[in-house]
Structure 1
Amino acid sequence: MERDGMTEEERPKVVEVDSTDGYEGDKGSRRIKKFDSFDIETSRFKSDHGYSSKENLAWVMILKLAIQSIGVVYGDLGTSPLYVMSGIFPDGIKHEDDILGAVSLIFYSIILIGLIKYVFIVLSANDNGDGGTFALYSLMCRYAKASLTPNQQAEDKEVLNYRLEVPSRRFRRASAMKSFLENSEAAKYLLLFVTILGTAMVIGDGILTPCISVLSAVGGIQGAASSLGENQIMWISVVILILLFQVQRFGTHKVGYSFAPILSIWFLGIGLIGIYNIAKHDSGVIKAVNPLCIVHYFMRNKKEAWISLGGVILCLTGSEALFADLGHFNILSIQLSSCLVVLPSIILAYFGQAAYLRKHSENVASTFYSSLPKSVYWPMFVIAVLAATIASQAMISATFAIVKQSVALGCFPNVKVVHTSRKHEGQIYIPEVNTLLMLTCVGVTLGFKTTLKLGNAYVLYKFLDGGYVPLFFAAVMMTIMLLWNYGYRKKYEFQLENKVSREALVTIMSNTIHRSPGVALFYTELVHGISPIFAQYVADVPALHSVLVFVSIKSLPISNVPLEERFFFRRVEPQVSGMYRCVVRYGYRDAKIEPQFFEKVLIDQLKDFIHNNAPYADERGEASDHGIAMINEEGVQREIGLVDEAIKIGGIMYLMGQSEVKASRGSGFAKRFVINCLYNWLKRCVRQPEDVFNVPHKRLLKVGITYEI
């Protein structure tokens, strides 16, 4: 059985040890070696736990996840045949063989980037089954002390998923990189900056893709109802987008099962239509598999060929969702659905469109709908609209996963995270982010109105015509994330520098402070030492509960922390009774425990800690004449009895700091503006800590404190 993050074999035991093992004194006075990582760092821990990714899932579950993934992951990627050809040839097709060059570019882009890079390489670079930019960042922070927040603890390495062994053949290279990251502040900042940049770019792309997908699909109605103008198409698209974001609250599980049949029909349909077009119009289009078609295409078109790459890249929109959405599913399920259903259907669709355009190049602006057989036009129109509506699901789910990881690692403001599945902890919904995405997508659709204009947002060559939009969104996201991370780190560093020393704590407790029955959970961000908020509390209220637990909620750079290893206890000071420190460790995918269950587990773990870390009969902790220090059972029962009596009489109260942050005296204008204005404004706009941790308001007491950073 494991307690406090250590197995019975790993827990320090009272044993007779020879002085040559690093203990001082003769045999009669050997001391038990003690450490306390709340105040010091040590690397003398072993990590014997086996490293495991996700649990091995049964094939039935893998197939279910593969089916769900079709409805969630591939929406953007799967609906790209609606608009790619018009994006590549916005001014029409000048040479018949340019079609072969374009489809060859599409084919090799999908194979090299979509299949080889993402499906078989990038998916393998996961963190315990979780994907995304921040998952990679957390993985690097676990292998090297690359985090800018000084809250690492040696005991964290004992957690089940926190294995740090490096394969021997890569050890030298990995060690060099680890040393570089740990010793270079510039490298740490650069790593964080690149991580935030990548995250912001993914979210920026996630805003554009739903708009262009829905506009393209709805635009197909003009082929049969030419009376509808751009404004009507635009407003229909807006209504569809709003409805899509409203169903997100039902969760990935229900959304995936609801959307999967529709997208499965879509992929089957475009694949069969692609085969039909190849057979009817030009089977010679298969020559585009030859990469020389790309060479000839660039030789003929030169500069225009390079510009057309902005349209080619549209065939890969949503590919990053394969990795970012990994936490909602698993690797094998995504690989199966990609290789057996999605990518073959998309490739057949593009080759079929190319075959059609070889005979009807004048219809390139409406390639998808023009290439449909008349008998299936309306059924495919309905399915296309539904598929395009679903298209944004991949990036919406990916955005939820990315934001949750960012929050856990101190790079995004506090938001409400709703876990929508009991079986798969990675399936989440974030109301605030969902609303912001909806408003932004609606605004982009109203601003651009047509697919052709919105396509300019993917071509940096047309920066002024729309290429600035994704960069603008990415800049806004980066600003928010960098601001929050800066304030978060500065607050933590202030607490670390002004923490209450052990000597000061003993002095405070030795004064005549009244101890009333009850258990107080004193929340603090500080992991090492006692937060200065405690000194402020004692100065304002010279009374303490009989049992006081300093609780630090800490996010580890891993995806999950097993429940039995989540609570890590230490005594604050042996001379002060009834005072403990507890670090509650979460992975960035773990759901916060409900208050009632949290209280029960914390108290049970506290009693377990008291029982297994009992004081010795000899208070000095020295061995007896027989070389063994006897555990003071009477003291154990008295200490546990104190906890039981405190809960019975006074119950459990929560103490939290109400912090005000301002720039220190002498700070420059830039720092004062960032901290006093921007950071504080952002802090007021987001959820407060008591809401994030689901603290009962009736049992909450706040202590005001000002941080001058």
Structure 2
Amino acid sequence: MSVDEVNDTKDENQVEVVSQELTARKLSWQKLRRSDSLDVESRRVSGHHAHATKEGLKWGVILQLAFQSIGIVYGDIGTSPLYVYASTFTDGINHEDDILGVLSLIYYTITLIPLIKYVFIVLKANDNGDGGTFALYSLICRYAKVGLIPSQQTEDCDVSNFQLELPSKRLMRASRLKNKLENSQFAKFFLLIATMLGTSMVIGDGVLTPCISVLSAVGGIKEATLVMTEDRVVWISVAILVCLFAVQRFGTDKVGYTFAPIICVWFAFIGGIGVYNFIKFDPWVIKAINPAYIVGYFGRNKKNAWISLGGVVLAITGTEALFADVGHFTVRSIQISMCCVTYPALICAYTGQASWLRKHPDLVGDTFFKSTPGRLYWPMFVVAVLAAIIASQAMISGSFSIIQQSLALGCFPRVKIVHTSTKYEGQVYIPEVNYLLMLACVGVTLGFKTTVKIGNAYGIAVVFVMTLTSSLLILIMIMIWKSNILLVICYVLIICSVEIVYLSSVLYKFDQGGYLPLAFAALLMTIMYVWNNVYRRKYYYELEHKISPERVKEIAADTNFYRIPGLAMFYSELVQGIPPIFKHYVANVPALHSVLVFVSIKSLPISKVPPEERFLFRRVEPMDLNVFRCIARYGYTDVRNEEEPFERILVEKLKEFIRDDYWLSQTITNHEEVGEENGEFTDVSIKGENERNEDVGFVQEEQQKESVLEREIEMVDKALRAGCVHLIGESEVIAGKGSGIGKRILIDHAYNFLKKNLRQSEKVFDIPHKRMLKVGMTYEL
């Protein structure tokens, strides 16, 4: 083979390798030629890492998770038999068939809402395994551009967990709804406000669940001794609540293994006692399976029957925990535990209590403990108190998780997130929120004193969250799942109509304690709205005043600037470009570190971002400035304070980027050369002679470039050894001149009050104080 043939073969192989590498990395020449993108440089997709892989677990593991879920998920709904009948018949039982009517309502409510709606429909709307109001919102945000902050980037869609598997049918209806949402500013605000409202109601549920559960369980001691007055019951409940909140900082991991056995014993007790009462007192209550008794109940009691629905709905309290806690387990495990344990035990418990009430209708106020056989009273009392504490623990932990999600999406002020378990994901503790919840619980318990009034408040929180979940789910069914329109209509007519009826009933008791969750929600939504509104205003200000590439080149060309050894990380919230606070910094400090990285912490509307897909880098021109931009992307359940220092992880990824950037530049150069050769007619003999003459020069040039690459990587290592400095951009915000009184109150007073009284950036991200420098600047919004 001649030298010419060897060179031609070399060129062909080189072009083929280049083409294969580009295909493997899913790149395009259009992306490579973009002037200001973060599309390519640090991306390395390595397959799907979604939570959905948990659904492929073996049956042994699924059954183990199903057992563990009993202790975490069902504590709240499992303790409802403590107070449902007492809260429903607040004025006593007027007709013996009223018991059958209420029992029938309980049958069909538990079947329709927790079982059919949540276990078999809502759980399928999980966000890569995570649930809750923000999970539904994040699904909608990923499919339609309804976010109010313009931080979306095309490369976000390349993250493994970001992709949605969408059916291909019924596209026209889904596209119309998607376009309406994307083009309507009102719809975007409405979705955000609805999500905030749902979140606030769940947090309100976290306040009321400990109150009503512990108060109901401790109240059973009055059946054993007359010395125990109502005031003493209240103070004992307060003491238990204080202890419960005091141990939150240790996390649920240390007591988690005791949760499931206790709740299993609880379900065995209430189910077994229910069967015993059913057989002993009145087996004919099974007639309540006929919905005609519901019609008869409303016919006899009319308005009072409608009002009593506020007590019936307490039978499904804690149902939202089925969805909110799915991230700790799997959909299949929760379906198994609900269908095999929780649902049968609850049905038996309510049926047995109804049988007992048929013989003792005058004792409805103390149904639970009065219907317990005498020999089982004390064991039942102890288990009831433990179950109430566990139910409270589950809702408190759920409140922490929800606040973590809202914080990640810029909807809550900065608070410190403490991850209490290295074994179980999602177990978090928030000190400030914990103390506020404790004060709220103690205040509610001392103020209301009885479960009837707390039950009025509790029902509103429960039904509001369910209604909002249904509203978001309908959007997902039409726009993402592309469900048959008949199925959507059936869901609205059956499930949604039932929830609306219950909502109207609980709102009737607004002045009897029902105002409490709405007051909680109003306070929390005010805080969330103030923070989110000013957060968006700050982002738009930085976006409009970001530093241009020309200004960066002027800084690089300025001979008065000194380069000092070391690595500097400049934190900001701006994703697109260099923040204006950097201009303020260089105007006052005429020195730059040898390596400077602008770091933006960005939250994606997904639960988790795989670590290998977390960082996006871009080099800021000119190259000799050694300035880089970095976006660290997190999901709303990701742990930010890893055991390995953030700076060390970032530096390793930066060096990977430098190597990839060298590879890309070589690929582009080779591609252009090949394109020029293919596009021009050149004499074969001249071409071969030119290539032979250039071979030696090509090898020397490659060696020089690799030497430059190694020097650049060594420079980064040297800068890290010299010391890493964390520069925090702390921007003060004030209302601009000529602003109205509303805007001044919002920014100057409300937002700045929250900012000054809550944690700062360095405390949230655990930045070491010895290597931190704050750079302040005032924004006039």
| Residue identity matched to 1:584 | A
Q: State the secondary structure of the residue aligned to 1:703.
A: strand
> Cα gap change, 1:13/1:120 in structure 2, threshold over 3 Å: closer, same or farther?
closer
Q: State the TM-score, normalized to the length of structure 1.
A: 0.92
Residue of 527, 541, 565 corresponding to 2:613 = 565
Q: Deviations over 1:294-319 (max 9, x none)?
A: 01110111000000000001111111
- Whether 1:699 aligns to 2:748 is no
| Residue identity matched to 1:506 | K
Output the CA distance in 2 between the equivalents of 1:490 and 1:239: 44
| Residue identity matched to 2:320 | E
> Cα gap change, 1:619/1:75 in structure 2, threshold over 3 Å: closer, same or farther?
closer
Q: State the secondary structure of the residue aligned to 2:773.
A: strand
Q: Deviations over 1:520-571 (max 9, x none)?
A: 0111110000000110100110100010000111111111111111111110
Answer whether contact 1:220 1:369 (CA < 8 A) is retained.
yes
Q: State the secondary structure of the residue aligned to 1:416.
A: coil
| Residue identity matched to 2:736 | S
Output the CA distance in 1 between the equivalents of 2:156 and 2:95: 63
- Whether 1:534 aligns to 2:594 is no
Bigger proportion of residues as helix: 2
Q: State the secondary structure of the residue aligned to 2:239.
A: helix
Output the CA distance in 2 between the equivalents of 1:99 and 1:278: 13
Aligned position for 2:647? 599
Identity within the alignment, %: 60
Aligned position for 1:398? 398
Aligned position for 2:543? 496
Output the CA distance in 2 between the equivalents of 1:498 and 1:10: 38
Give the C-alpha shift of residue 248 in structure 1: 2.5
The within-5 A match list for 1:137-176 is 137-176=137-176
Output the CA distance in 1 between the equivalents of 2:622 and 2:425: 39
Output the CA distance in 2 between the equivalents of 1:329 and 1:618: 45
**Which is worse superposed, 124-133 or 621-630?**
621-630
Give the C-alpha shift of residue 72 in structure 1: 1.7
Aligned position for 2:532? 485
Give the C-alpha shift of residue 635 in structure 1: 2.4
| Residue identity matched to 2:52 | K
**Which is worse superposed, 527-536 or 419-428?**
419-428
The within-5 A match list for 1:224-243 is 224-243=224-243
Output the CA distance in 2 between the equivalents of 1:596 and 1:681: 34
Residue of 696, 708, 711 corresponding to 1:638 = 711
Q: Deviations over 1:555-588 (max 9, x none)?
A: 1111111111111111011454311101011111
Give the C-alpha shift of residue 165 in structure 1: 4.8
- Whether 1:647 aligns to 2:720 is yes
> Cα gap change, 1:639/1:47 in structure 2, threshold over 3 Å: closer, same or farther?
closer
| Residue identity matched to 2:538 | K
| Residue identity matched to 1:189 | F
Output the CA distance in 2 between the equivalents of 1:8 and 1:221: 73
> Cα gap change, 1:281/1:13 in structure 2, threshold over 3 Å: closer, same or farther?
closer
Output the CA distance in 1 between the equivalents of 2:24 and 2:410: 31
Aligned position for 2:758? 686
Output the CA distance in 2 between the equivalents of 1:431 and 1:419: 11
Answer whether contact 1:325 1:401 (CA < 8 A) is retained.
no
Give the C-alpha shift of residue 48 in structure 1: 10
Output the CA distance in 2 between the equivalents of 1:349 and 1:198: 30
> Cα gap change, 1:359/1:617 in structure 2, threshold over 3 Å: closer, same or farther?
closer
Aligned position for 2:728? 656
**Which is worse superposed, 248-257 or 487-496?**
248-257
Q: State the secondary structure of the residue aligned to 1:254.
A: coil
Q: State the secondary structure of the residue aligned to 1:252.
A: coil
Q: State the secondary structure of the residue aligned to 1:580.
A: strand
CA RMSD of aligned residues (A): 2.5
Give the C-alpha shift of residue 465 in structure 1: 2.3
Aligned position for 1:54? 52
| Residue identity matched to 1:663 | A
Give the C-alpha shift of residue 47 in structure 1: 9.3
The within-5 A match list for 1:431-450 is 431-450=431-450
The within-5 A match list for 1:513-552 is 513-552=561-600
| Residue identity matched to 2:569 | L
The count of residues paired between Structure 1 and Structure 2 equals: 685
Output the CA distance in 2 between the equivalents of 1:368 and 1:596: 52
Q: Deviations over 1:313-355 (max 9, x none)?
A: 1111111111112222222222122111111111100000000
Give the C-alpha shift of residue 138 in structure 1: 1.1
**Which is worse superposed, 569-578 or 503-512?**
569-578
Aligned position for 1:313? 313
| Residue identity matched to 1:206 | G
Give the C-alpha shift of residue 637 in structure 1: 1.7
Q: State the TM-score, normalized to the length of structure 2.
A: 0.84
Answer whether contact 1:80 1:315 (CA < 8 A) is retained.
yes
Q: Gapped runs of 5+ residues in structure 2?
A: 1-20, 460-505, 678-697
The within-5 A match list for 1:409-428 is 409-428=409-428
Output the CA distance in 1 between the equivalents of 2:142 and 2:46: 16
> Cα gap change, 1:171/1:53 in structure 2, threshold over 3 Å: closer, same or farther?
farther
| Residue identity matched to 1:585 | R
Question: Which structure: larger Rg?
Answer: 2
Answer whether contact 1:72 1:397 (CA < 8 A) is retained.
no
Residue of 443, 462, 469 corresponding to 2:509 = 462
Q: State the secondary structure of the residue aligned to 1:519.
A: strand
- Whether 1:95 aligns to 2:95 is yes
Q: Deviations over 1:52-86 (max 9, x none)?
A: 43323343433332222222211111111111101
Q: State the secondary structure of the residue aligned to 2:632.
A: strand
Q: Gapped runs of 5+ residues in structure 1?
A: 1-6, 24-31
Aligned position for 2:746? 674
| Residue identity matched to 2:555 | I
